Amino acid sequence: MSHSEPQAAVGIASIGVQLPPLAMDMSELAQLRGADVNKYRHGLGCDVMALCPEGYGVVDLAVGAAKRALGRWRGDVSDIGLVSVGSESALDMSRPLSAWVASELGLRGNFRSYEVKHACYGGTLALRQAVEWKLANVQPGKAALVIATDVALYAEGDPGEPTQGAGAVAMIVEDGLVASIARASYPYSEPAFDFWRPVGCAFPLVEGPLSLDCYQRATAACYEQLLAGEAEPFARLMAYGAHCFHVPFPKMVKKAVSMLGQAFTLDEGQLTAFFEEKVQPSLAWNKQIGNAYTASLWISVADQLRRLAPGTIMTAFSYGSGFGAELFEITAGPECARGAWARDVESDLASRRLVKASEYTKLRSGERRVTASVPPAAAISA
Ligand code: HMG
């Protein structure tokens, strides 16, 4: 199960990651809010949250990630037949984020361009649609540029504040040189108000305990489909090279694993082995970044892929509030071991500046809220 012949089926041909240039350690936030830092570090599993400076946002992140993915791809931008951006940080109710990205990348011509929204699930939906578009061979020879980009901010003092973060992952969907994506997938959806952001609200409204419950139920429902009829669920879970999850905060993933323990009657030893060997290794970057909403799962997948031998099969579980979830298999491709995208993350983590609580408070008071986006005169005349 954990290995198959390396193949270049439809999947990810190149990955680029972009993180913002600022961050804040949890100790600063704990001091500011009069909280015990152990609650953030151990209770939630968060160490550092990525932050954007004034005037820097989802488009900068998306374009940075896209340039990195394109720069390492053997194709040419003229081979792109679809640009799709998954995000819940939309700048406009009408104009898709993909138009801002295309403008920055100088793209125009015969390609589809759109934005996908379903909370943190939007990036995965964009990827799944691109894979299905490629399998359908709608535009022979063309590739898709898929980007998951978000800036996660809660109201100051909100319980979600220590889980904030930001980042973007761009993936070129073509052959599976980096990773192939299985055609089969296991979705689950239920309408819920666990986390939502009404039009005009700068920050999300959250029913915290309900959101944890929804996430865990979705995990069980998706894995029950994957493992349907399996006599040895533990052996099957352990046969995968890794299991990646959406990471709103690392402790959430541990809760999801506990839910799988209940669903498949795993004992304590099995649960610990499953978490420590198959899940925990891919949480390292997320702990340093925070929740990047649509990008969080893909940051975890990118972290894990570089450690897998070509042909190894892993799973990806996506969750988006509202709520929708999907689980599917990913097979490490012949180029995954090079892990070229790790340089993006390592250089961004090394070069970012850690801000103190006072600077964070100042940043928040200037809040980067885009209420209306007026096209610059240059863009109209172009
Ligand atoms: P809270 O109420 O502040 O936290 O909010 P708590 O009191 O429940 O404590 C959290 C944990 O810290 C607990 O551990 C405490 O025991 C522990 P647990 O019982 O869970 O294992 N704790 C301590 N540990 C060590 N030392 C201490 C200490 N004190 C307490 N001194 C909550 C937590 C997650 C609700 C909040 O952060 C929140 O609202 N976050 C946003 C919502 C969220 O992330 N939900 C996750 C599922 S929904 C999702 O993933 C979708 C999402 O990404 C959005 C999208 O789809 O677009 C959010």
Q: What whole-number distance in Å separates Cα of residue 146 and Cα of residue 14?
A: 11
| Closest by CA position to 289, among listed 98, 15, 17 | 17
217: CA distance to ligand 1 center in Å?
A: 16
With a 6 Å cutoff on the Cβ, whether 321 touches ligand 1 is: yes
With a 6 Å cutoff on the Cβ, whether 163 touches ligand 1 is: yes
Whole-number pLDDT of residue 290: 98
Mean pLDDT of 30-37: 98
Burial call 264-285: b when 16+ CB within 10 Å, e when fewer? bebeeebbeebbeebbeebbbb
**How is the chain split into domains, by residue range?**
10-367
Mean pLDDT of 80-84: 98
Tell me which CATH code domain 10-367 carries. Answer: 3.40.47.10
Q: Over 80: is that where the pLDDT of 368 sits?
A: no
Rounded to 5, what percent of the chain is helix, strand, coil?
40, 25, 35
Q: Over 60: is that where the pLDDT of 1 sits?
A: no
Q: Which atom of ligand 1 is nearest to the CA of 320?
A: 56
CA distance to 98, 116, 201, 274, 326, per residue, from 95 (Å): 8, 12, 18, 43, 27
Mean pLDDT of 8-36: 96
Q: What is the mean pLDDT of the chain?
A: 94
Mean pLDDT of 121-141: 97
Report pTM.
Answer: 0.95
Q: What percent of the chain has pLDDT over 90?
A: 92
Instruction: Write out the H or E segment, with its range, that includes residue 51.
Output: strand 48-51
- Residue tagged 């022979």 (tokens): 140
How many helices (H) and strands (E) the chain has is answered by 14, 14
Instruction: Write out the H or E segment, with its range, that includes residue 15.
Output: strand 10-18
Give per-residue pLDDT as tens, 47-58.
Answer: 999 999 999 999
Question: Which two three-digit tokens encode residue 315?
Answer: 């799973």
Q: What percent of the chain has pLDDT over 70?
A: 94
Pairing of strands 195-196, 48-51: unpaired
With a 6 Å cutoff on the Cβ, whether 295 touches ligand 1 is: no
Q: Over 60: is that where the pLDDT of 298 sits?
A: yes
